[in-house]
Amino acid sequence: MRTVRLGKTGIEVPQNAFGALPIQRVSTEEAVSLLRNAYEGGMRFFDTARAYSDSEDKVGKAFEGMRDKVFISSKTMASDKKKFTEDLDTTLKNLKTDYIDIYQLHCAPRCYDENDELYLALVDAKKQGKVRHIGITAHKIGVAEEIIKSGLYETLQFPFSYLASDRDIELVKSCKEHDMGFIAMKGLSGGLLNNSKACMAFMSQYDALPIWGIQRQSELDEWLSFFENEVTMTDELKAVIDKDRKELLGEFCRGCGYCMPCTVDITINQCARMSQMIRRAPSQNWLTEHWQQEMMKIDSCIECGICKTRCPYELDIPTLLKKNLKDYKEILAGKEI
């Protein structure tokens, strides 16, 4: 397993890390077991956030008494210094620690600089020893590029998978040039990619630390298998990647959910990508009565546009929903998938 250095932080870990967003969906017992099994299997970097409900608490329980053996990153969506301080104190309490290895501003709408209280709060927290390194996460490429140019942050977390554009790849290279750690989120593009070997082989070509979102032991086993059987790019895996890129590139929903809630209760983060999910997972899972009812809610869309303002990828969500509904209705009518 290749080792990745997160820029000027000096943190060096295997290029195979744990994204703890999904563990909020399982019991504490299951989550603690997953996290400890991940550590025993070789993972050393674990990413969570205040926004992930009880994820931090579960990470804290898993690594209590062995804090010095793992690297933990967390995040705050605070919009002012007061909320930042509250979030940081809560995170430290949840994680049962007196420091966080990397603390990040979560889903930043812009590059916060020396004139912003949030950036100054990060710097102050580092001076106090509560935070060892400061980072930031973004979804918009322009914002990410400004962050790198600023030279103010030690790490950048950004979506990166083998559906990446040339501009995305240049972003990763630019981080390396600026000695900035790059943490890759959404390495499976919100569940659209289902070949773990291809995903791992792609990541191995770059100085990026992927944080795979893990919810089940079977998923963890796949990622842990690469510690014993290192994956490198092959012609066969390139063919898988090329096929997926042809099918998926363009405007597609990553399922992040930042657009929610919907004014008329549409499950946007699933319905807006139904055409892909129904073809890339067992189709019957998406043809149940439940999902038929959910999809038909699209007919009640009032095109208020609120979802468009929230989407970090600036997608035309109402149009995307209608395209997916049209395809879904045709499938229900007998169109071959």
All structural domains of the chain? 3-237 (3.20.20.100), 268-332 (no CATH)
Q: What is the C-alpha to C-alpha distance for residues 235 and 231, in angstroms, rounded to an integer? A: 13
Percentage of the chain with pLDDT > 70? Answer: 100
Q: What is the C-alpha to C-alpha distance for residues 294 and 271, in angstroms, rounded to an integer? A: 8
Q: Tell me: pLDDT of 250 over 90.
A: no
Average pLDDT, the chain: 95
Work out whether strand 181-185 and strand 71-76 pair parallel, antiparallel, or are unpaired.
unpaired
Radius of gyration of the chain (CA): 20
Percentage of the chain with pLDDT > 90? Answer: 89
Q: Each residue of 100-120: pLDDT tens digit?
A: 999 999 999 999 999 999 999
Q: What are phi and psi of 43, to 5 degrees?
A: -75, 140
pLDDT confidence of residue 337: 82
If one compares 224 and 194, the residue with the highest pLDDT of the two is: 224
Q: Each residue of 6-55: pLDDT tens digit?
A: 999 999 999 999 999 999 999 999 999 999 999 999 999 999 999 999 99
Q: Tell me: pLDDT of 281 over 80.
A: no
Q: Each residue of 166-215: pLDDT tens digit?
A: 999 999 999 999 999 999 999 999 888 989 999 999 999 999 999 999 99
Collect all residues with Cβ–Cβ distance below 8 Å to 218 and sequence separation of at least 6: none
Q: Tell me: pLDDT of 128 over 80.
A: yes
Distances 90 to 60, 77, 86, 131 between C-alpha atoms, Å: 12, 13, 6, 13
pLDDT confidence of residue 256: 85
Q: Each residue of 23-37: pLDDT tens digit?
A: 999 999 999 999 999
Q: Tell me: pLDDT of 283 over 90.
A: no
For the residues 46-74, what does the mean pLDDT come to? 97
pLDDT confidence of residue 254: 84
pLDDT confidence of residue 313: 85
Q: Are 175 and 143 in contact (CB under 8 A)?
A: no
Q: What is the C-alpha to C-alpha distance for residues 188 and 245, in angstroms, rounded to an integer? A: 13
User: Which residues are designated catalytic?
Assistant: 52
Q: What is the C-alpha to C-alpha distance for residues 83 and 77, in angstroms, rounded to an integer? A: 9
